[in-house]
Structure 1
Amino acid sequence: MGEQNFLSNFALEGKIHSTDFIEIWMHYDSDRSGFMEQDEVTAFLTDLFKKKKGAVSNEVVNQAVQQLFMTYDENNDGQLSMNELYCILDVEDSIFGNLSHVDVMGNEEFDTLFNHYDKTGQGFIDSESALFALISDMMRRHGGEISAHELQRVRKAVLAVCDSDGNGRIDKSELQLVLKVASQAVKSSHDGDSHENLAR
């Protein structure tokens, strides 16, 4: 029996939940480099073809990999960034675009936000994919470049300040502080990018 296709865990028809996108990214960026190199993209496309079409030849996959890099590898560095994969997969729009200012959310908006990232109804946001998704959605709302390294930096800052009981999870009582810290960290990284772009 062959190895299970990782993508069989996800419904890839229509918009992809941002938490699912992060789980997919983390699985295929197997060396945690912050980029998907050619062999990782090949593994991703092989699973994607199998999910959608069943068996597929290596030749078809290799042609698709070359085409994908020609189309989406904007800086021609031979690897895909998280931002570039966002362009390939149809990820849902950032939920933050539908909310009033993060600092003055009503109870209903706050509950909607929490439940969006607590997809399984466990009563907490896990510190891996769901927290990464929340931060990346905030970055997308600000129009910033999404990089795996920047996500990791903001996540560490958020957990250091907000995970008061040290359990590696964010519960509802900690989320308000998470939003404040993450928002500040995202804005500072976005401002830094703007200054860098001006300096070029």
Structure 2
Amino acid sequence: MAEGQKGKTFLDKYPVFFSMSSHQFAEIWQHFDADGSGHIEGNELDNLFRELLHKLGSTDISQEEVNFTREAFLSTYDFTGDGKIDVYELATIIMPPDENFLFAFHRRHPLDSSVEFMRLWRKYDVDCSGYISTEELKNFLKDLMEQAQKQVTAEELEGYTTTMLELFDKNKDGNLELQEMARLLALRENFLLQLKDSAKSPEERKSDFEKVFAYYDESKTGSLEGVEVDAFVKDLMDLIKPNLTMQQIEDYKEAILKHVDKNKDNKLQKKELAMCLGVRL
């Protein structure tokens, strides 16, 4: 247990959880997500629940008590079932409902499509700078609040924007890179992971490919275009080199289209997509 003077723990700085501000929540998150992975996991989970037990008055806390508490909390709050706690799950545990509305909104509207993610990215990266600036993030949060029918003051909006940057701006430059924004939106697992098993038969790979094409062809036009191509290239390159910037994605997209886009329409037909993935149709 990380203890300070007189046996106090980090959480003892916060007398009452459910009256804390979003800024205080950000401090707690950054403390327990020690490696900055975007999840509290492994030993970080043990540290969190050991300190929670200490805050609730327990002394001489055994590993068995920590394990029991961890499993009890995960069974209730681990919505994704991955054995970890993400920022939204921790917020559900310790933040008051009024401060927690963004997280609650996220849970009602989960972002499980990388195409939708790229659509949002293109919408809010207004100046096409390759990152979401503080002002662009503020506009995004303002729109979320309006969709959730929640009225907030300009001061509250500033506070939420600051908190989101504290939580997700890993390099602390006042902007959100592509992967930082993906973490804010809790974008789900890369859909292309379905094709990574090289032991699959040609028939199984063809079946997987059809699912992949249907996933990215949200417009059902029979080809990938616009943000659909963006999403595919992002997911494809994430398999090879994670955490790329938007500019790097643009560079890879240009190279891929130059290689497979035979009719030069800046779209990916089904045969062209199959060529990218090494699948014979």
Which bracket does the TM-score occupy, shorter chain normalised?
0.7 to 0.9
CA distance in structure 2 between the partners assigned to 1:132 and 1:176 by the alignment:
16
Which consecutive residues of structure 2, in runs of 5 or more, have no partner in the other structure? 1-106
Counterpart CA distance in 2 for 1:143 and 1:56 is: 40
Paired position in structure 1 for 2:224: 125
Structure 2 residue identity aligned to 1:146 = L
SS of 1:85's partner is helix
Task: Report % sequence identity.
Answer: 23
Matches of residues 1-200 of structure 1 in structure 2 within 5 Å? 13-99=109-195, 100-101=197-198, 106-126=205-225, 128-142=226-240, 144-179=242-277
TM-score (norm 1): 0.77
Could you say what secondary structure the match of 1:165 adopts? coil
- Tell me which moved more, 107-116 or 139-148: 139-148
Supply the AA of the counterpart residue of 1:107. Answer: K
Q: Of the two structures, which has the highest relative contact order with CA contacts closer than 8 Å and spacing of 6 or more?
A: 1
Counterpart secondary structure, 1:53: coil
Q: How many angstroms apart in 2 are the aligned matches of 1:160 and 1:55?
A: 47
Partner Cα distance (1:143, 1:161) in 2: 19
Give a deviation string over 1:58-91, Cα, whole Å, max 9, x none: 2211100111111111111111101101110021
Q: Is the 8 A contact 1:16 1:89 kept in 2?
A: no
Give the conservation status (yes or no) of the 8 Å contact 1:22–1:133. Answer: yes
The Cα shift of 1:143 comes to 5.6
Structure 1 runs, 4 residues or longer, greater than 6 Å off = none
Q: Runs of 5+ in structure 1 lacking a partner? A: 1-10, 181-200
**In 2, Cα distance between the equivalents of 1:153 and 1:123?**
24
Cα RMSD over matched residues? 2.2
Cα distance in structure 2, aligned partners of 1:29 and 1:177: 31
| TM-score normalised to structure 2 length | 0.56
CA distance in 2, matches of 1:86, 1:31: 19
Larger radius of gyration: 2
Shift of residue 110 of structure 1? 1.2
CA contact (8 A) 1:117 1:130 kept: yes
Amino acid at match of 1:13: H
